[in-house]
Amino acid sequence: MTEIYIISGFLGAGKTTLIRKLLKEAFYGEKVVLLENDFGEVSVDAALLKSGGIEVKEINSGCICCSLSGDFVKAVKEIHRQYRPDKIIIEPSGVGKLSDVVRACEDPAIQPLAGVKRKITVADAARCKSYLDNFGEFFEDQIENADVIVLSRTEDHPDKTKAAVDLIKGLNPFAAILSNSWDLIGSNEILLPRHDRPEQEAHSHDHVHDQNNGHNHGHDHNSEHGHHDHDHDHDHDHDHDHDHDHSAEEIFDTVTVRTTRKFTNDELKNLIYRLERELTGTVLRAKGILHGTNGYLELQYLPGDLKIRDCDTEGDMLSFIGKDLNRRELIELLKGA
């Protein structure tokens, strides 16, 4: 029986970074298939892969990476038939609902082949409150349906970590909450069944600040430009109304712009600066691979947090997820019109 691990989390929380950690530490040497189910036209995370229905490519330590389009159940059956993997890791879209993925995994056609072993949600300690206020339906679903919640960016925002833990416990009192720096959390601790956890380990936030000392331990969540958080902590009236069941497509916009224009780092920084100040709507997440002056550049953006770094993977696109986005404005911004 193949084990399924679902790694959920709102936009930019750090899902891909956690998956890399699990592949390196916990699943090394096993046959693993990574299934990415991204929202929008293009999966930037799967840019390493060729286009098509299910694209397959060997990546580090024998892991097979698939970008999923089309019928989920059919894809899982096909992967099982073709690879007979030990583990399947599913990375849903940041605006996907964990409950939808779990329900799909419980389909009678999948049940004899594979079962969900662990439901893990990555939550950004600095943005929990903002995401709950503004996108409660999606954020709540990811928290409420998880067995394990791993907080990211706790060492950058020790002042917000305690509040984030309290907020999460309010939504899901049964999940294990891990809030130490990721360098101090072993993968085995993340994957431990709930009933095997010592109580103090399950809620390790009590000693998080002493161990971290406010330092960054080097996993790649940090903006090279510091954090000028625009946390929109307004008191929005959101009655947690589960009668209104929305899909991501109803609430969020996605725009992908392709361009062969070559950018310097400064041009990309200026582009994001303009995007934050001049454009219609709200960009919640942008990620892409673009032509740089000497090779390719990977761009990862959350409000108040921009990372640009050299990249070996070829690409010519930037994908945006947000609310009330204007496609024409974004195209003009990127193409330099």
Which position has the higher pLDDT, 180 or 212? 180
Residues 335, 266: Cα–Cα separation, whole Å: 15
Nearest to 3 by CA among 99, 85, 82: 85
Amino acid 72: pLDDT: 77
Per residue in 23-70, pLDDT (tens digit) is 888 888 888 888 876 555 445 444 433 333 334 444 444 555 555 545
The rounded radius of gyration (Å) of the Cα atoms in the chain is 19
Residues 169, 165: Cα–Cα separation, whole Å: 6
Kindly tell me if the per-residue pLDDT of 226 is higher than 80.
Answer: no
Provide the token pair at 316.
């010519």
Residues 19, 89: Cα–Cα separation, whole Å: 8
Q: In percent, how much of the chain has pLDDT > 70? A: 73
Provide the token pair at 284.
């919640």
226: exposed, middle or buried (Cβ count in 10 Å: 0-12, 13-18, 19+):
exposed
Kindly tell me if the per-residue pLDDT of 76 is higher than 70.
Answer: yes
Q: What is the mean pLDDT of the chain?
A: 77
Q: How confident is the model at residue 210 (pLDDT cuts 50, 70, 90)?
A: very low
Kindly tell me if the per-residue pLDDT of 229 is higher than 50.
Answer: no
C-alpha distances in Å from residue 75, one per residue of 47, 54, 185: 19, 7, 32
Q: What is the mean pLDDT of residues 259-270?
A: 94
Residues 6+ apart with CB under 8 A from 160: 125, 126, 128, 129
CB atoms within 10 A of CB 314: 11
C-alpha distances in Å from residue 165, one per residue of 10, 12, 162, 283, 287: 16, 18, 5, 26, 28
Residues 182, 124: Cα–Cα separation, whole Å: 13
Q: Spell out the SS3 assignment of 167-186.
A: HHHHHCCCCEEECCCHHHCC
Residues 248, 313: Cα–Cα separation, whole Å: 28
Per residue in 91-127, pLDDT (tens digit) is 888 888 899 889 889 989 899 999 999 999 999 999 9
pTM recorded for the entire structure: 0.71
Give the angle 218-224-226 at the CA atoms, nearest 5°. 100
Exposure letters 179-216 (e unless 16+ CB within 10 A, then b): bbbbeebebebbbbeeeebeeeebebbeebbeebeeee
Kindly tell me if the per-residue pLDDT of 206 is higher than 50.
Answer: no
Nearest to 299 by CA among 209, 206, 205, 223: 223
Amino acid 164: pLDDT: 96
Give the angle 296-253-151 at the CA atoms, nearest 5°. 70
